[in-house]
Amino acid sequence: MRSVTRKLAITSAVAAAVLGATVASNGAALADPPAGTTPAATDIVSAGSDTIQAFDNGLSAAYNATSPASKYYSWNATPAGNITPKSGASTIARPNGSGSGISTLNGNTNTTLDIARSSRGPNSGSSADWFIPFAQDAVGWSAYTGGNAPSNLTSSDLTAIYNCTITNWSQISDVAGYTGPNANIDVFVPQASSGTRSFFLAAIGVTAPQSCWNAATPEENEGTDAAFAGDVNAIYPYSLSHYVGQVYDGKGSGTDEPGVLDANRSIDGVNQIDTVNKVWNSNLSLTYTREVYHVVRQSDWADATEGPRLKALLDRSSNNGWLCTNAASLITSYGFQSLGNACGTLTAGN
């Protein structure tokens, strides 16, 4: 039985469609600008985070259906290679991950890239950019379905696993009812530019790469990666919003699926996923929740030409920014949770 929350989300999704959203009916978002479409020089384009790329593809479809003066297009994090984001832009290496998107934003002008998608927060020490949150996410852990990992790990366990103090499931001694087999834990992290990677490691207090980590760095939120195949000892961080979107909302596609991994597990005894309401559990510690952002140059935000294009999409609802005003149901339909009136708040950083 679906909950009232769920029904409201569905009702809202229908409302979004009435508003003109043209997200594919099965929920799978289009990747990159649609085939045959070259964004105009006056359009706004984004690149960067894998975690929010599916949402931004949906956002692009819904927003562009309203025929804005400047349309919005989102470039996926993969496949590797070069892209020319819009007409007149420089050809650049496709940014893969939040860090790569932000550095590409700051290394180019709005002739090439207008927005970086980011699942990490701002670094202090620079006021080059505005980080503009639009939703909340949580990051937890996943493991091979039916493998050797327990259903619950404490924060201390996660820290010890990722700093290599605990390397064998048999060393897990603080989970009631669990006796780990004598098997080495296979510790995975996403690729180095991943915002999910940096957030998760910071949350558990691990500051540098460790010797016990698997050399493979799979694309984040993709349990379909060949590195996980048959690996009953795999453990991997996972965006819980992305997981909900994949599992319950039909927003996965191709390799962008949980595959052999599942995140329906617990941290410190708190379930990561509310399987009844089919959302991530808002009772998770703040340590494991985060905001997700669109990042723009502060100079662009203040610019008389570029600023209105960005603000039409990203500004607060009080200033009629489309995302903050109209997309609450779209946000929840991708597994994220709404920020309410705080959507569109500016934080300086880079």
Partner 1 sequence: MNRTAVRTLAAAAALAATAIALPSASATGTPASGSVALTASNAFLTSALQSGIAAVPLPTATGSYDRATGATATFPVTGGNAVLPRYYGSVTLGGGIAFADALTGKIVCFHQVSLSGRNQEVSAVPDGGTTPVNLFAYGDDTVISAIGATPETLTGDAAIPADGAAYLDQALGTTFFTANQAVGALSTTFTPAH
Q: Which residue ranges make up the site for partner 1 (CB under 8 A)?
A: 121-122, 124, 133, 136, 286, 289, 291, 315-316, 318-319, 339-342, 344-349
Radius of gyration of the chain (CA): 20
For residues 270 and 264, the answer to whether their CB atoms sit within 8 Å is no
- The smaller minimum CB distance to partner 1, of residues 112 and 241, is found at 241
For residues 121 and 291, the answer to whether their CB atoms sit within 8 Å is yes
Q: How far is the CB of 267 from partner 1 (least distance, A)?
A: 17
- The smaller minimum CB distance to partner 1, of residues 47 and 138, is found at 138
Is 28 buried (19+), middle (13-18) or exposed (0-12) by CB count in 10 A? middle
- Number of Cβ within 10 Å of residue 133's Cβ equals 20
Q: How far is the CB of 136 from partner 1 (least distance, A)?
A: 8
Q: How far is the CB of 342 from partner 1 (least distance, A)?
A: 5
- The smaller minimum CB distance to partner 1, of residues 81 and 125, is found at 125
Q: How far is the CB of 316 from partner 1 (least distance, A)?
A: 6
Structure tokens at 80: 């590797």
- The smaller minimum CB distance to partner 1, of residues 136 and 217, is found at 136
- Number of Cβ within 10 Å of residue 292's Cβ equals 28
CA distance 49 to 293: 9
- The smaller minimum CB distance to partner 1, of residues 167 and 345, is found at 345
Q: How far is the CB of 121 from partner 1 (least distance, A)?
A: 6
- The smaller minimum CB distance to partner 1, of residues 330 and 339, is found at 339
Q: How far is the CB of 124 from partner 1 (least distance, A)?
A: 5
Give the three-state DSSP class for 57. helix
How far is residue 34 from each of residues 41, 44, 85, measured CA to CA in Å? Answer: 16, 15, 12
Q: How far is the CB of 341 from partner 1 (least distance, A)?
A: 5
CA distance 97 to 112: 17
Please name the helix (run of DSSP H) or strand (run of DSSP E) that holds residue 273, with its range, or none.
Answer: strand 273-274
Residue type, 24: A
- The smaller minimum CB distance to partner 1, of residues 27 and 122, is found at 122
